[in-house]
Structure 1
Amino acid sequence: MYRFLASTRWIGWLLLVCLVAVAFAFLGNWQMDRREQALTEISHVQRNFDAAPIPFAQAKPLFGQLPADGKWTPVTLEGSYLTEDQTIVRNRISGSRPGYEVLVPFRTTDGTTVIVNRGFLPIGNENAGQPDSIPAPPAGTVKVQVRLKASEPKLDRGAPEGQLASIDLPAYAAKLDYPIATGSYGLMFLEAPAPATAPTQLQRPEEDEGPHLSYSFQWFAFGVLVFIGFGYAAKQQARINREDREEAAEAALRGEGPVLHQAHRMRKRPKKLVRRDGTPTDEAEEDAYLDELERRASQHGHAGRPDAG
């Protein structure tokens, strides 16, 4: 009944279905990976964001290289800002608003210089391409509490003089004439003494894993559905073939030519009946089968009629 599945056409359809299912499985796994990344980020926020700050002496290695589980670790710094070397980072977003973030080198009491991100500034109205003003950090000795984030990758785009395209600490270090820690920077959330004005503090990261799990289930379901669709199509073809055989057999018993299924009655004879290797095509074999049925039915009907006269 299902011998037609061994034909070239149906094998081709099966290979296509398998290819589509593999693509859907890949997309499902991709969404699962994205969900795993989101859950990891949430765990870092929940574990570190509200923890008690640790002293710089203990956190100093983290400024050289920040491990993944060290993200958002609060640290207390004591020293002074090097205001003359501050810069801004362009194309930043905070609360759906575009703007800039302010980076200022901070020299600790032990002589190490780290980078502090003092917060967000909206796009200016007076001068295009820069904020209207940049609030100055506190002068003199300052105590600052920051949360650590890793240096960002270098972007394939430039920035105007005095700005950076991303928080790429090695690129920032190349603009300075003294060494800085390039493994991580501190996102400021408290300064003492507090200045009269300061950039807006960046918002707490959202603890939402997103729709990745439901999306992955959808892709996996699509992968199963293509096989179900293939099975349904094969079942329908088997039904059509069975009905053709039954109708042909009944017509033969009545001494009539075969009654073809509508799908076959509407079928056009193929223009190409032989493959390149000389073997008949699937359509040619099907035509030969139907022609044989017609011939047998015609012989049966002729034999069953008495000769005239």
Structure 2
Amino acid sequence: MSRRYSFLRTPRWIGIAGLTVLVAAICVTLGFWQLSRHEYRADAIARVESNSTQAPLPLTDLLTSTTTQVGDELEWRAVTVTGQYVGGPVALPQRGVESGPADHALGVLAVEGPDGEDWLLVVDRGSYPTDAFGDSTDRLELPEGQLDLVLRLRPAEEASPRDEVAGQVFRINPEQVLAAAGGDLPGTLVTDSYAWVVTESPTTANPPTPIPVPSPNYRSNLSYAMQWWTFGLLAFIGYGVMARRERGALDRAAGVAVAAPRPRRQTDADLEDAEIDAAQATQANDTSSV
């Protein structure tokens, strides 16, 4: 370090240097955190794209029991099933779809499991726009009789701690949905999974809109990581600018001449503008002399 910048050894500037390093370290850490989120979302979306594009299989080929866990290999897989709705319709309020406000229509589907066992499978039939003042009865209405469905498997959600409301749930927890649909229904409940309806035939006159597979939008986290790392670099650049300004202020206080900045090299446009200004000045002098 040259003598001119020996002031950087003072306690004040040591504190500024420490603060700069701390800010840069925080920015770098936040950048790596955003990068890890980017990698996690990239893996999740790759799994969605891989599983959701596979051909549908019969339900019992993938769910071999009512307690089969829907993990990475099964989530978003499509299955075919024949069954009928039992119990009443169930509403799931305030569950947005694609960042838009929406309510969901749920039902309990009676299907045939392995060895002729009667299963009860909770399904999310789709969504409809949230309207606190409208009548959503037709969107919640369940079709009658035997149905052919294509579904997507999802893991069951944790039970909601909120108080129960008739015909309504706040999470897609099979036990709570079954209770809201009527409770005492014949069959064994599938407890560790539920399903999204892809197609339902036949269906009602005004059915809910099936929920789409999540869009592969995960690049924002990578750009956020780059931004945080840039902020970390700017912290050191800011430190250097502050030190240079401090040195200039000390020089002026001591009466030390500060080197003037080198003049900017004139461009062809600058020379042309100067010639025009000179010609206009000459013309103005000739006019005034007349």
1:118-144 deviations in Å (ceiling 9; x for gaps):
1112335765xx624345333333322
Q: Which of 88, 95, 120 matches 1:113?
A: 120
Change (3 A) 1:214 1:134: closer
Paired AA for residue 66 in structure 1: V
Paired AA for residue 50 in structure 1: T
Other-structure match for 2:190:
181
**Equivalent residues of 2:91, 2:167 under 8 A apart:** yes
Other-structure match for 1:296:
none
Other-structure match for 2:201:
192
Larger radius of gyration between Structure 1 and Structure 2: 1
| Structure-2 separation of matches of 1:105 and 1:37 | 33
Structure 1 residue 64: Cα displacement: 3.1
Q: Which of 43, 68, 73 matches 2:72?
A: 68
Paired AA for residue 108 in structure 2: P
Structure 2-normalised TM-score? 0.72
1:240-268 deviations in Å (ceiling 9; x for gaps):
55x379x5xxxxxxxxxxx4899xxxxxx
Number of residues paired by the alignment?
246
Q: 1:225 and 2:225 equivalent?
A: no
Alignment of 1:93-108 (within 5 A): 93-94=96-97, 97-108=100-111
Change (3 A) 1:6 1:154: farther
Structure 1 residue 212: Cα displacement: 1.9
Structure 1 residue 194: Cα displacement: 4.2
Other-structure match for 2:282:
none
Q: 1:211 and 2:220 equivalent?
A: yes
Change (3 A) 1:20 1:108: same
Structure 1 residue 91: Cα displacement: 0.4
Paired AA for residue 207 in structure 1: P
**Equivalent residues of 1:44, 1:70 under 8 A apart:** no
Q: Which of 17, 25, 29 matches 1:14?
A: 17
1:37-91 deviations in Å (ceiling 9; x for gaps):
3322321232122321111222115863211343211011223221x24311000
RMSD: 3.1
Q: Percent identity over the alignment?
A: 28
Which consecutive unaligned segments of at least 5 residues does structure 2 have?
A: 259-290
| Structure-1 separation of matches of 2:31 and 2:97 | 31
Provide the secondary structure at the position in 2 that maps to 1:212. Answer: helix
Other-structure match for 2:7:
4
Other-structure match for 2:174:
169
